[in-house]
Amino acid sequence: MADQIVATPEIHEYVRSVSLREDPILAELRAVTAGLPGGTAMQVMAEEGQLLALLVSLSGATSVLEIGTFTGYSTLCMARALPPGGTVVTLDVDGRWPAIGADYWQRAGVAERIEVRIGAATKTLAGLADERGGESFDLVFIDADKANYGTYYEAALGLVRPEGLIVIDNTLFFGRVVDPASRDPDTAGVRALNASLRDDPRVDVSMLTMADGITLARKKAPAPVN
């Protein structure tokens, strides 16, 4: 059995050349986002956006919850993968960033599939639970402030249906998770969630060493009653 290959810049370029299908609308949004302060670090890689779209399609999702919109690149990828009538409810604390993506969503013809909610995510998530009830989403994508990852995960677990999928971004967090000197709240939040996920009996889990670390957690169905 071979060990994992080192992902050199040349390997990254090769993968993009044979796999990436980023169209002009997505490429333009990614370029605009990269020009913002912290834009390159905060937006998902193009390959990750493509993976999210594939996961939405494979899971048969019709309702997606996104915690952390930023400029809406991942939002657009997932909205495009939904069937007619599907929706993405996307949450952000600041309306300036989703406003950038709105024009691209419109140009891509999926604006009507996207519902933006602005405010503190913890409050918005509690409101969604009251409004829609539990287990009302097929897929949840978490990509917001890392210090609250544990809180977002627990909320997501209550909102996603049995056998639904939770996708968590940045679970390697620029490599800081293995640096003992990194003790900031964001790194601590990611570390704590990673440690708890491994032994969480409520989900099947796999961490991918792709992009900045992507963890997939599939909510288990209730055990049958004899």
Model pTM?
0.95
Q: What is the pLDDT of residues 110-153, one digit of tens each?
A: 999 999 999 999 999 999 999 999 999 999 999 999 999 999 99
The label of the residue with tokens 């969604």 reads 128
Contact indicator for 135, 157 with CB cutoff of 8 Å: no
- Residues 49-69 pLDDT 10s: 999 999 999 999 999 999 999
**Distance, CA of 53 to CA of 33 (rounded, Å):** 19
> What distance in Å separates the CA atoms of residue 118 and residue 69, rounded to the nearest whole number?
10
CA distances from 7 to 10, 19, 210 (A): 8, 15, 9
The secondary structure element, H or E, covering residue 67 is: strand 63-67
Torsion of CA 157, 158, 162, 168, to 10 degrees: -20
What is the predicted pLDDT for the residue at 2? 67
| CA neighbor of 59 nearest in space, from 159, 138, 134 | 138
Taking the C-alpha atoms of residue 144 and residue 57, their distance in angstroms, rounded to an integer, is 23
In the predicted structure, residue 219 carries a pLDDT above the cut 60: yes
Could you read off the pLDDT of 165-207 as tens digits, one per residue? 999 999 999 999 999 999 999 999 999 999 999 999 999 999 9
Q: How confident is the model at residue 224 (pLDDT cuts 50, 70, 90)?
A: confident
pLDDT at 1 over 90: no
All domains of the chain in start order, with CATH? 9-219 (3.40.50.150)
Average confidence (pLDDT) over 88-102: 97
